[in-house]
């Protein structure tokens, strides 16, 4: 039959055995023994015994159907590399029969990373999957950190833009207030002109505001203008020295 390993068992004499080949730490293929020189009594029970190269042993039950005994392989039966010895035990009440040993050659299982003998532990693919999972989690963490950093940068840019807009609004307000002030308090630039009995001054335009610096046109410093005005007034007054300005 397919998907099983078949061997004949002789219990009246030990014949040359055809070794069974099995891959370490696998269990999918059952081993079927057919008794050729012995009729298994009805109601009997069967057990399988496997002794591994280290001397450790595994026991398990087996299924009987007529003169056929089927062994369901477990992971630990063939956990060690090398040759293991398998025997079948038939019991009925106090009567028992044990077969001659059947050699089983256990071959490497490279998908399990050639783990130490008699150890049922994760192999190569388990370690690779764990490493891949760790790398994936680290990448996800890095992506989340990058997204957080990008969001923080966007928030900072928004805040900077808001601050710039506020500064522009403040600058415009200051410029307006400066303009209003000098409209009400003009700066006098040129020498006064005598028009009849009226002393006339020429008024400058409003100074400009550059950042925090108030800029006047050339020669229009408020202090210099005030000093010039005083000088002009003194010169105008000296025109009336030794003159009679009015009589009663």
59 & 49 share domain: yes
H or E segment at 233?
helix 222-238
Q: What is the pLDDT of residues 142-177, one digit of tens each?
A: 888 888 888 888 887 887 787 677 667 656 666 676
Last residue of a domain, one of 138, 156, 184: 184
Q: What is the pLDDT of residues 181-196, one digit of tens each?
A: 666 666 555 555 566 6
Last residue of a domain, one of 74, 100, 117: 117
174 & 195 share domain: no
Distance CA(124)–CA(113), nearest Å, equals: 4
Contact between 38 and 89 under an 8 Å Cβ cutoff? The reply is no
User: If you count them, how many residues does the chain have?
Assistant: 248
* Any domain includes 143: yes
Percent of the chain with pLDDT over 90: 41
Average pLDDT of the chain to the nearest whole number: 79
Q: Which domain holds residue 154?
A: 123-184
Last residue of a domain, one of 184, 202, 230: 184
* Any domain includes 20: yes
Contact between 27 and 50 under an 8 Å Cβ cutoff? The reply is no
Beta-sheet strands, E only, within 146-236:
193-195, 198-200, 208-210, 213-215
pLDDT of residue 131: 79
Q: What is the pLDDT of residues 109-128, one digit of tens each?
A: 988 875 555 555 556 667 77
Q: What is the pLDDT of residues 58-86, one digit of tens each?
A: 999 999 999 999 999 998 999 999 999 99
Q: How many domains does one find in the chain?
A: 3
Highest mean pLDDT among 1-5, 184-188, 196-200: 1-5
* Any domain includes 246: no
Residue range 226-243: mean pLDDT, rounded: 69
9 & 112 share domain: yes
238 vs 148: which has the higher pLDDT: 148
Query: Structure pTM?
Result: 0.46
* Any domain includes 248: no
Contact between 82 and 49 under an 8 Å Cβ cutoff? The reply is no
Report how far Cα 105 is from the mean position of its chain's Cα atoms. 47
- pLDDT for residue 108 is more than 60: yes
């Amino acid at each position: 039959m397919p998907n099983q390993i078949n061997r004949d068992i002789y219990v009246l004499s030990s014949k040359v055995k055809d070794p069974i080949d099995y891959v370490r730490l696998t269990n999918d293929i059952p081993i079927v023994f057919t008794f050729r020189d012995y009729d298994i009594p009805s109601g009997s029970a069967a057990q399988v015994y496997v002794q591994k190269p280290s001397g450790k042993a595994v026991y398990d039950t087996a299924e009987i159907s007529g003169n056929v005994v089927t062994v369901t392989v477990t992971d630990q039966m063939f956990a060690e590399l090398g040759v293991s010895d398998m025997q079948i035990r038939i019991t009925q009440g106090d009567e028992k029969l044990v077969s001659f040993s059947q050699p089983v050659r256990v071959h490497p299982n490279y998908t399990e990373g050639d783990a130490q003998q008699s150890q049922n532990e994760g192999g190569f693919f388990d370690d690779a999957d764990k490493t891949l999972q760790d790398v994936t989690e680290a990448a996800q963490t890095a992506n989340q950190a990058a997204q957080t950093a990008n969001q923080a940068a966007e928030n900072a840019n928004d805040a900077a833009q808001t601050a710039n807009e506020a500064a522009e609004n403040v600058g415009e307000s200051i410029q307006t207030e400066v303009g209003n002030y000098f409209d009400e308090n003009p700066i006098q630039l040129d020498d006064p002109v005598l028009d009849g009995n009226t002393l006339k001054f020429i008024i400058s335009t409003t100074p400009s505001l550059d950042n925090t610096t108030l800029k006047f046109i050339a020669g229009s410093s408020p202090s210099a203008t005030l000093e010039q005005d005083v000088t002009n007034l003194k010169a105008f007054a000296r025109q009336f020295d030794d003159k009679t300005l009015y009589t009663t």
